[in-house]
Amino acid sequence: MKNNLSSYYLPTQMPMFAGSPGFPNISNAKKRLYFIAWLIIGTCAGVLANFIPANTAAFASFLHLNSMQSALLVGIYFMFSTWASLLLFKLRQHFGVQFFVKFVIFFLSISVLMRIFLEDSFANELVIRAIYGFVCTSLSVISIFYAGQFLPREKRMLMLLLGLGLIQLGLPLDRLISSYLISDFDLTYIFILELVLSILCIFMLKITSLPPSFMAYELHLKNLFTLIIFALSCMCFTLALSLINTIWWDNELVFKLFSLALFFLALFIFLEFIKKEPMVNVKFLSKVDIVKIIILAACMRIFLAEQNISTSGFFINTLSYSDYQLRFLYLYIFLGSLSGFIASYYTLKGFNRFSLLVFISFLILSLASFLCANLNPYSKPSDVYLGQFLISFAGIYFMTPLLIDGIIKAMARGVTYLVSFSCIFSFAQNIFGLLGSSFVNYFLIYKSKIISSNIITNSSNFNQDYINKFANANAYNEMFLIISVFSFLVFLFLFLEWLFFKLKKKNPNARELQIIMQKVQKRVVEEQKLLGEKNEKI
């Protein structure tokens, strides 16, 4: 199949790996069409992916769910999203990008038909969220491919930023949209919007086909068992972490789910370790540089978990604000994410800037968290506008340079390593995002109880409502200060590492970049030779 594409593509236009489209010369009109498709599909995917995290309480009220069902609704999306990161990569490699797009259209169509013809119920919503877990992960990849079609060759590494950046804008955009569309926990208009966005994605996928890819037969029966083991691990992890916030850490069911999750994950790692041709290269993932990238991504996800809880937890639950009253706070959070996205595009130039952008992100997060540590029972949303703006800025700004850093290390070694890194990075993002929310929620409840108990013990005259608000405010302040301190420590470590390489005049990715550039130069030489032969014939 790869050889068949040689008549369609020049060597420098060939797909980067099996299952990805090539980069043929196309007209400006078609580049504009790909730009519109990228913008629509990426935005729709981000919005569809985040309706549940943004509106968990509203879904629970509208569908009359208990705490267990509400947690399952959150967990089922993350479970399928995490599993899809590995399965869909193999699916693209095996069947090609054109089949992959048809696969996405098929499942999007099922979600549309279910939304139109079936009643709103927990069982149906569970299936729809599982479908969106697969579909939104797929759409994020497709938006990356679309970005690669309209970007010039020298800026093609930014296709990751453009593809993933729109997805990251989904959560703050969802909160902003929901504050206008949801009234008295009625999700009717939200479901209509989901329906419209799904149909819009199907339409754009149908009218903008991606260039062809070559295929590598990667789906084997021997891999089926390990795929199932990985799926079971994802399921147990996500369900346990989703349930923690409702039935707490010491519950027997949570303990069993965590035990099973660790067992299945250990079994998956062992099976991949002993394989001659593993799907996930465990030895590569154990390298210091890769472990550092995964830990940094996990740290940022844990630190950013407070943003989801602080806006809904303090102002809504403690100070009785409504989502509509918080719409300007959500607007600032969205604008912060959008600013981080735009700033990444214009500052991510050259491979020497990766470390610089990442440690700047942690410094901004440290400063922003410190600015938010001033809550009290009389606080207004405007008191945290700047801090929350900067937190959301840092959350977008750090991701792409960190992700590209890992991809460079993987691509220099081969496609299997790229699959391995993509799989574990996605796993870490989803799992540690849920874990961060659980830790933050636990800390806030634990600290507020201690603070309120101390006040009651030391005072005979007290107003219970005021004490609860005061205790909650101080718990949030402590949480912000802890995040600020730990973010600064991470910044300090990364800054000293960057300074070390700067003084030594070394690039930590020098070897990998040399290998990649040699591959690129080889393709350029092949293309020049091919064009020369054609000119001689003419």
Token pair, residue 364, equals 């901004």
Backbone angles phi, psi at 186, to 5 degrees: -90, 115
Question: Please, which residues bridge with residue 186 across strands?
Answer: 183
Please give the CATH topology (third level) of the domain spanning 299-507: Growth Hormone; Chain: A; (1.20.1250)
What is the CA angle 95-100-102, rounded to 5?
Answer: 120
Distance CA 441, CA 101 (A): 39
Backbone angles phi, psi at 183, to 5 degrees: -130, 125
Task: Name the burial class of residue 516, with classes exposed (0-12), middle (13-18) and buried (19+) by CB atoms within 10 angstroms of its CB.
Answer: middle
Supply the DSSP string of 346-367, one letter for each residue. Answer: HH--SGGGHHHHHHHHHHHHHH
Distance CA 305, CA 352 (A): 29
Burial annotation 402-411 (CB, 10 A radius, 16+ → b, else e): bbbbbbbbbb
The 3-state secondary structure of 246-277, one letter per residue: HHCCCCHHHHHHHHHHHHHHHHHHHHHHHCCC
Q: Helix 67-95 and helix 28-54: axis angle, to 10°?
A: 150
Q: What is the pLDDT of residue 7?
A: 63
Tally Cβ neighbours within 10 Å of residue 195: 14
Distance CA 14, CA 90 (A): 19
Q: Indicate the domain borders of the chain.
A: 14-218, 221-278, 299-507
Tally Cβ neighbours within 10 Å of residue 11: 17
Under a CB-based contact definition with an 8 Å cutoff, are residues 425 and 83 in contact? Answer: no
Q: How would you write the pLDDT of the chain (538 residues) with one tens digit per residue? A: 555 666 667 777 778 777 788 888 888 899 999 999 999 999 999 898 888 877 888 888 888 888 788 888 888 888 888 888 777 877 888 888 888 889 899 999 999 999 888 888 888 989 998 899 888 888 988 998 899 899 887 787 778 888 888 888 888 888 889 888 888 778 889 899 999 999 999 999 999 888 888 777 666 777 788 888 888 888 888 888 878 766 666 678 888 888 898 999 899 888 888 887 787 887 777 778 888 888 888 888 887 776 666 566 788 888 888 888 888 998 999 999 899 988 888 887 665 667 788 889 999 999 999 999 888 888 999 999 999 999 999 988 888 788 888 888 887 777 778 777 887 888 887 888 888 888 888 888 889 889 888 888 776 666 788 888 889 999 999 999 999 999 999 999 989 988 888 888 777 777 777 777 777 777 777 767 766 666 666 5
CATH 1.10.3720.10 corresponds to the domain 14-218: no
What is the CA angle 320-364-480, rounded to 5?
Answer: 40
